[in-house]
């Protein structure tokens, strides 16, 4: 027997860190287990290291846009090994730092794959069996299985972020955040990049009109975007790969690459947990069945948070929020429900695209009365100052209450500006509240009044 606890947490990412700290501070005996280095996807294999690579790509694009506008940098180039070394200055210390945090708070931390062996019991490989009053599943996500032959040749997004050298020819399979962001990084680093997307467009989570404006930046970067294109199979060919694709009309085409990247989505990483042993039910898609309190109805001892819960958007702030809600419900009884109002989403392309609240389509489906302002504003100072032609917005405001319903932005600084719209949505601020706010000028935020 490895031990008995008030709470066992499976995973060590954002949700696990928040939950363990909160439960420990409340006097609960807590254990955390992860078969991978402590820190989780966001800090080690996702958003944080990715954003560090985006920074290098952004600098290269800044130089390109400003080259005939006063910036002289004829030898500017991106050194992939040096950029990766810079990234590791952030990621490398995290597991040890996390372990020290656990030890300092009296939290037992185990390394090993966890699996349920009873309704309140978890076996940890190499450690034994732990029992607990509550168990929090915060195991994160993994790449979704791909249906075509040769899928084993693809590298995951996590493996891409560990590449020592960047291959010259890269194909990304998929059309979401990973494909969009990684394509911009790789193209600015000098690779020839293609995206294969089965659907009709990229970034379906964002407003289609703004995505259309953003696509110009893909073309400017030399990214070959092929939509309505399915992968038939991937074959090893010498030192590279041949990717056979099929269009909607049935026409097939072979493409050559040195690296093929899985960018076709991620799913909760639940299979190794053997949920049946704990009586934890899943729905027809294989996701956890949870009630409004992030609890398993079929086993009330079990809660979930973040990507494993999949009740809110798959974003790091949601993981943290879920963890706070779940721990409060464990300690105080089920009283708290997650509140995902005003959670912004950003794809860190160059320039970025951002969204919060309702889309135009969702507002119309709900038969809401709203006014809509939408405009491409390449001539505004915010865009002209950085010589960025892609800049635009779409904002929805409720006609009856004057409250902001949704905001959709693309262009320079929108990854920061979207947070102000998120604040307005979450706390019920009106368009007039924002218009009468005096933002620092000239900044991206100072454009908000003109968007309303």
Residue 150 labeled ligand binder: no
Q: Mapping DSSP to helix (H, G, I), strand (E, B) and coil, where does residue 108 land? A: strand
| Residue 306 annotated as lining a ligand binding site | no
Which SS3 state, helix, strand or coil, does residue 39 take? coil
Distances (CA, A) of 274 to 32, 120, 144, 279: 18, 13, 18, 9
Q: Are strands 302-304 and 128-137 parallel, antiparallel or unpaired?
A: parallel
Q: Are 94 and 39 in contact (CB under 8 A)?
A: yes
Q: Which residues pair with 410 in a beta bridge?
A: 353, 392
CATH number of 3-143+267-332: 3.50.50.60
Structure tokens at 246: 């099929």
Give, in words, the CATH class of 344-450: alpha beta
Question: Measuring CA to CA, how many Å separate 186 from each of 50, 162, 165, 166, 194?
Answer: 11, 13, 11, 8, 10
Confirm whether residue 96 is marked as ligand binding.
no
The pLDDT assigned to 3 comes to 83
189 appears as a binding residue in the annotation: no
Strand, coil or helix: 225: strand
The response to whether 216 counts as a known ligand-binding position is no
In whole angstroms, give the CA distance from residue 349 to residue 351: 5
Is residue 241 a known part of a binding site?
no
> Any known ligand binding at 185?
no
Burial code (b: 16+ CB inside 10 Å, e: under 16) for 250-268 equals: eeeeebebbbbbbbbbbbb
Residues composing the chain: 452
The edge-to-edge listing of strands for the beta sheet with 259-262 is 224-226, 192-196, 169-173, 259-262
Mind giving me the DSSP string for 306-329? GGGT-SS-S-HHHHHHHHHHHHHH
Q: Report the C-alpha gap between 95 and 81 in whole angstroms.
A: 22
Q: What is the pLDDT along the chain (452 residues), one digit of tens a residue?
A: 468 999 999 999 999 999 999 999 999 999 999 999 999 999 999 999 999 999 999 999 999 999 999 999 888 899 999 999 999 999 999 999 999 999 999 999 999 999 999 999 999 999 999 999 999 999 999 999 999 999 999 999 999 999 999 999 999 999 999 999 999 999 999 999 999 999 999 999 999 999 999 999 999 999 999 999 999 999 999 999 999 999 999 999 999 999 999 999 999 999 999 999 999 999 999 999 999 999 999 999 999 999 999 999 888 999 999 999 999 999 999 999 999 999 999 999 999 999 999 999 999 999 999 999 999 999 999 999 999 999 999 999 999 999 999 999 999 999 999 999 999 999 999 999 999 999 999 999 999 999 99
- Residue 195, annotated ligand binder? no
d(Cα 334, Cα 6) in Å, to the nearest integer? 16
Question: Is residue 276 marked as binding?
Answer: no
Q: Is 87 annotated in some ligand binding site?
A: no
Give me the residues paired with residue 105 across strands.
none
Exposure on the CB side of residue 312, measured as CA atoms within 13 A: 26
Under the phi-then-psi rule, with left for phi > 0, alpha for psi from -120 to 50, and beta for the rest, what region is 117?
alpha
Does residue 180 have a known ligand-binding role?
yes
**Whether 399 contacts 373, CB under 8 Å:** no
CA-to-CA separations, 307 to 16, 17, 121, 187, in angstroms, rounded: 11, 14, 22, 29
Identify the CA nearest to 133 among candidates 324, 369, 327, 276: 327
> Is it true that 151-264 and 344-450 share their CATH fold?
no
In CATH, what number does 151-264 get? 3.50.50.60
Q: What is the residue extent of each domain of the chain? A: 3-143+267-332, 151-264, 344-450
| Statement: the pTM of the whole predicted model exceeds 0.85 | yes
The tokens describing 88, both together, are 């590791």
Distance CA 403, CA 406 (A): 9
Q: Is 111:96 a contact under the CB 8 Å cutoff?
A: no
């Amino acid at each position: 027997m490895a031990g008995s606890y008030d709470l066992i947490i499976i995973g060590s990412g954002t949700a696990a860190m928040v939950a363990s700290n909160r439960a420990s501070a409340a006097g609960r005996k807590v254990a955390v287990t992860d078969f991978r280095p402590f820190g989780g996807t966001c800090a080690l294999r996702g958003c944080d290291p990715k954003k560090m690579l985006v920074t290098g790509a952004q600098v290269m694009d800044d130089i390109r846009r400003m080259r005939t506008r006063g910036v002289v940098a004829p030898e500017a180039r991106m050194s992939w090994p040096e950029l990766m070394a810079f990234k590791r200055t952030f990621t490398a210390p995290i597991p040890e730092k996390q372990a020290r945090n656990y030890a300092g708070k009296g939290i037992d931390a185990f390394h090993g794959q966890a699996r349920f062996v009873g309704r309140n019991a978890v076996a940890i490989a190499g450690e034994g069996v732990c029992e607990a009053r509550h168990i929090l599943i915060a195991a994160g996500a993994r790449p979704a299985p791909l249906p075509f032959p040769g899928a084993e040749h693809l590298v995951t997004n996590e493996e891409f972020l560990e590449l020592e050298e960047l291959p010259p020819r890269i194909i990304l399979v998929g059309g979401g955040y990973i494909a969009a962001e990684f394509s911009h990084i790789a193209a600015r680093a000098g690779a020839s990049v293609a995206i294969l997307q089965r659907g009709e467009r990229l970034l379906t989570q964002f407003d289609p009109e703004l995505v259309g404006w953003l696509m110009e930046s893909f073309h400017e970067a030399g990214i070959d975007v092929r939509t309505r294109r399915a992968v038939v199979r991937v074959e090893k060919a010498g030192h590279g790969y041949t990717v056979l694709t099929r269009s909607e009309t049935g026409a097939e085409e072979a493409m050559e690459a040195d690296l093929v990247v899985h960018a076709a989505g991620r799913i909760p990483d639940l299979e190794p947990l053997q949920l049946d042993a704990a009586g934890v039910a899943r729905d027809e898609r294989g996701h956890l069945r949870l009630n409004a309190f992030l609890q398993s109805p079929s086993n009330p001892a079990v809660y979930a948070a973040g990507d494993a819960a999949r009740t809110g958007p798959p974003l790091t702030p949601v993981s943290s929020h879920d963890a706070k809600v779940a721990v409060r419900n464990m300690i105080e009884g089920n009283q708290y429900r997650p509140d995902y109002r005003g959670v912004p989403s950003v794809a860190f392309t160059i320039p970025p695209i951002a969204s919060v609240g309702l889309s135009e389509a969702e507002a119309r489906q709900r038969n809401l009365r709203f006014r809509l302002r939408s405009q491409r504003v390449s001539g505004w100072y915010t865009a002209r100052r950085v010589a960025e032609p892609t800049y635009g917005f779409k904002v929805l405001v409720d006609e009856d209450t004057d409250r902001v319903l949704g905001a959709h932005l693309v262009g320079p600084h929108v990854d920061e500006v979207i947070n102000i719209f998120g604040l307005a949505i979450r706390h019920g601020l009106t368009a007039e509240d924002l218009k009468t706010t005096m933002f620092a000028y000239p900044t991206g935020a100072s454009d908000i009044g003109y968007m309303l």
